[in-house]
Amino acid sequence: MQVISMTIGKIRKEQINGQEIIVKKSSFDEIRKIEEARKIFKHHVIKLDGKDFTFHLPKIHDYKENEIYMELLTGDNLEINLRTPQNRNHAVIVTNLLFQYLYDNNIYWGDFAPRNVIINTDKQTINLCDFERGIQTNITDKEFLQNYAYEEYAAFLFPRERTFSKKLNDIFTVDKEHQITIDDIHSNRIKSIIKEMNIPENSLTNQTSANINKMIVIAETPYNINGQNIFPIIELENIKDNSYELFAKKICNIIKTKGSVNGYSRRL
């Protein structure tokens, strides 16, 4: 299995001199971020199944017309394994180990997501792809978890399966609450939910933003129905790609269905 993408039309396969490669629409800046990340991961080794696995980032072949031509990474896609019953248990273990390892080593990969991780057991490598956000610096660990990584980590794991060292409530409680403006918020998802919930702009704080990110995590939390695992993030990502307004409505409807989770809908 190879890399998958939730963004239709962003990635395609081509051949160069008989070699199959991936062509991805992106900016040249991502190449710089890949090379910076390559240096960071170069000396890191993680133990999986009692064996040492190294990290591998795709080789860059070319860049032209806003497209990156890069190595096709092969192996087992972590998201696909999480969605495949017979592979799920092992994939859960790998997801927990990898997420904890990156956090413990202060590697704040902005594009962490199971779909961006491909395990090659034959070569004992963990292939990583998608570095549009690069490795985050000048950011606290809590800000990183709130705004980047925890949502993707949690979206394919049931709460009982999550072994990450920090708990949900601790992650989404800011260290020091302060007032913010709507212009301070860069996420269109958060802005759309603020609008949907009719939250007064003069009442916004950094805790408001964190609470909404927590809402999204809870809305995306998997559930089981009639023996089948359901992953809401798949539908929600498709909705978001078409309309942030519909995404906000769906998030709020899911939360209403679940009830006022820990009363945070009142605290917003």
Residues 53-76: b if buried by 16+ CB within 10 A, e if exposed: bebbbbeebeeeeebbbbbbbbbb
Q: Which two tokens stand for residue 59?
A: 């080789």
- Say what the alpha-carbon torsion angle 174, 178, 183, 188 is, to the nearest 10 degrees: 20
pTM of the predicted structure, to 2 decimals: 0.90
Residue 195 has pLDDT above 50, yes or no: yes
pLDDT of residue 18: 83
Placement of tokens 């990474």 in the chain: 73
Give the confidence band of 263 by pLDDT, cuts at 50, 70, 90. Answer: very low
pLDDT tens for each residue of 201-256: 999 999 999 999 999 999 999 999 999 999 999 999 999 999 999 999 999 999 98
> Residue 263 and residue 268: Cα distance in Å, rounded?
9
Mean pLDDT, the chain, whole residue set: 92
249 vs 194: CA distance, rounded Å: 11
* Mean pLDDT score, 36-41: 97
Confidence grade of residue 16 (pLDDT, cut at 50, 70, 90):
confident
Confidence of residue 15 (pLDDT cuts 50, 70, 90): confident
* pLDDT tens, residue by residue, 68-84: 999 999 999 999 999 99
The mean-pLDDT minimum among 6-15, 161-170, 174-183 falls in 6-15
On the 0-12 / 13-18 / 19+ scale of CB atoms within 10 A, 97 is middle
User: Which of 9-23, 117-131, 203-217, 237-251 is predicted with the least confidence, judged by mean pLDDT?
Assistant: 9-23
Q: Are 149 and 109 in contact (CB under 8 A)?
A: yes
At 11 the pLDDT is 86
